[in-house]
Each structure stands twice: as structure tokens, then as C-alpha cells.
Amino acid sequence: MNSLSRKRFWTVVAAGLLLAAAAAYLSLTNGTFDMSVPDVVTTLLRIHPTPEHDLVVFEFRLPRIVLGALVGFALGVAGSMIQGVTRNGLADPGILGINAGAGLAVVLFMFWFQGSMTATGWLGVMLMPLFGAAGGLLATAAIYMFAKEGGRLDPQRLILVGIAIASGFGALTVYISLKMNPKDYEAAVVWLAGSLHGANWKFIVTMLPWLLLLPWICLRSRPLDLFQLSEESRKGLGLNVEREKNIILLCSVGLVSASVAVSGSIAFVGLIAPHMARRLVRLRHIHVIPVSGLIGMIMVLTGDFIGKTVFAPAELAVGIVVSIIGVPYFVYLLIRARG
């Protein structure tokens, strides 16, 4: 890493952290119950705390902010890895059907237990990501099965197969949700929209073990760089292509599934964040992966703030807000790819 690229990387990271902190600050101080900066500071530092401020900060806003940051970071990192391993700038966990597969599995979990093991209980909270991971792996296996041509993963077929799988799993998810009792159905609909409304500290604890994959992911940055070379060059460098692909995709599925389990399906974060990261820090994945995570964090925190304040007293799910931005961007990428 030369000094210029190192300086550029750390400048982008510092700017990203400042933007994420600004989004978190706005979410912490604004809402139905507005709080001043001194109120927030005294509450966090436990200086003359009041029950009302404790309830707002520690039970409602702070868990939502922390969970949004973790989910956004995980989705951004997963998106950069998926785009790197497929060599396809249009690849995204949502577009490829991984979100839909994880979502179907979590809805099945809700349907089978019918509220007897809801997300507020520890057992339910810990099991939901495992169900999500199983659904994400099922979607990934289906993609591999239908998108391979001549033993290779075809980037063009990958998108078409992913869209088809996402549509099929989405239809099954809606069908199963309609069979739920009214209370579980209402919870499933809110969750499917990609919402942080029900965020709590248990969800955050559930996400943390999956984020232990991040150091291992950073070690895969060199193989991801080598994936951008031709197949002959990769073999000449002694890279075990299939083994590395499987490791990277499994890590991506784990991050996406854990995110879907606690926040529902938030699409387009894994598509937009890596594109922006590559524009900012060029193509080396040792730079792209953490910057993609930071951009994903900013997107989710900002989208959640917009959804809960701009449309007040109604609340728009963060998944819908991000999709409003993501759909035009996806169309732009498609047009540019055809050009």
C-alpha cells in the first residue's frame, strides 16, 4: 500500500465515521420526543438521570442506532464480497435472492412457532439467524445449480437466476405469511419491509457473534483481488478458486442471514455501498471491504432517520427508504452496463 493510497483510505474512513456519527446524533436527538444535546449527554453519562430520558435513549433510540449500524456494515461488507467473487457489479444479496431465502426461512420460523418463541425471547433471537443462514444457503445452492455454465459461474446468468429465485422465494414468503394468525402476520409484514422498529439489545447481542467473521473476511482480500484476473492468471498464481469462492460466499451468507433475521430484508445496500467504495478508494479489497461497510452503515442510519422523522407521525421502514434510492441507482447501473 503506497503512502498516497493509505492517506486516501484513512481520509475516506475518517469522513465516513464522521457522517455515521452525525446520522447517529440526529437519530438520538430527534423524534416524537425531542431531546437536547445536554439531555442526551447527561443521560448517557448518568448525570441526574430521569426515567423518561432513560426510556427514550436506552430502550428505544440507542438499540435502534447500534443495530442499524451493525446491519448496514454487515450488508455493505457482504455486498463487496459477493461482487468481488462473482466479478459482477450488479450482484447484491437482495438481487441474487439471498435475502429472500433468509427471509423465507425466518417467516417459516415465525409460522411454526406461532408466537410461542417470539423474537423477544433469547432462544428465539438466537435461533432466527440460524434459520436465516439455512435459507440463505439454500438460495446460494440454487444459484450455483442454475447459474453455472460449463462448470463456471456465468455473471450474466447469475443476475437472471438470482432475480427468479428472489421472486419465487418472495411469493412463498407472502403465501406463508397469509397463513399466520393476525398478530404474527402483522409482525411479519413489518419485518419483511426491512424495519428497525423492534430493535432491542438482544438483537444486538445476536448480531455480534456473526461479526466475528469480519477479521477472517479481511484475510480474504487478496483472493478477492486475484478473482479480478483471468482464470489462467489465477491458476498460475496457485489460487484454489473453488475453495476460496465457497469460503467467501459462506461468510457473505452468514452476514446477510444474521442481518435479515434481526431487521428484515433491506435491499440495495449491498449493491450501492461497494460501488461508492470503489469510486472512493479504487479497487483493492483491503480498502473496499471496510469502506463498503462504512457506507452501508451510513445508508441504513440515514434511511432509518428519514423514515421515522420525515413522514411523522407515520413511520416508513428503512428498507423502503433505501429502496426508493436504490431502484433508480440500479437502473442507472443496468444502462451503464449495457453501454
Q: Which amino acid is at 54?
A: D
Give strand ranges (E) for the chain: 148-149, 152-153
The CA distance from 129 to 54, in Å, is 29
Run of H or E including 18:
helix 3-29
- Single-letter amino acid code for the residue at 202: K
So what's the pLDDT on residue 300?
A: 95
pLDDT confidence of residue 151 = 66
- Name, in order, each residue with C-beta under 8 angstroms of 215's C-beta and a sequence gap of 6 or more: none
Instruction: Mark 254-272 as b/e (b = at least 16 C-beta within 10 Å).
Output: bbbbbbbbbbbbbbbbbbb
The whole-number pLDDT of residue 236 equals 63
Give the residue among 34, 63, 51, 78 at the shortest CA–CA distance from 288: 78
β-pairing, 152-153 with 148-149? antiparallel
Count CA atoms closer than 13 A to 69's CA, side-chain side: 18
**One digit per residue, pLDDT tens: the chain, 339 residues?**
566 678 889 999 999 999 999 999 999 888 777 788 888 888 888 888 888 888 888 888 999 999 999 999 999 999 999 888 888 887 888 878 888 888 898 888 888 876 544 444 666 677 777 788 888 888 888 887 887 776 676 767 777 888 888 889 989 998 988 888 887 787 788 778 888 887 888 888 888 888 887 877 877 788 788 777 766 666 666 667 777 877 888 888 888 888 888 888 898 899 999 999 998 998 788 899 999 999 999 999 999 999 888 877 778 889 999 988 888 887 887 777 665
pLDDT of residue 230: 65
In this predicted structure, what is the pLDDT of residue 63?
Answer: 93
| CATH superfamily to which 3-338 belongs | ABC transporter involved in vitamin B12 uptake, BtuC (1.10.3470.10)
Torsion over CA of 130, 133, 134 and 138, rounded to 10 degrees? 170
Three-state secondary structure call for residue 87: coil
Q: What is the pLDDT of residues 308-329, one digit of tens each?
A: 888 777 788 899 999 888 888 8
| pLDDT score for 121 | 61
pLDDT at 294: 96
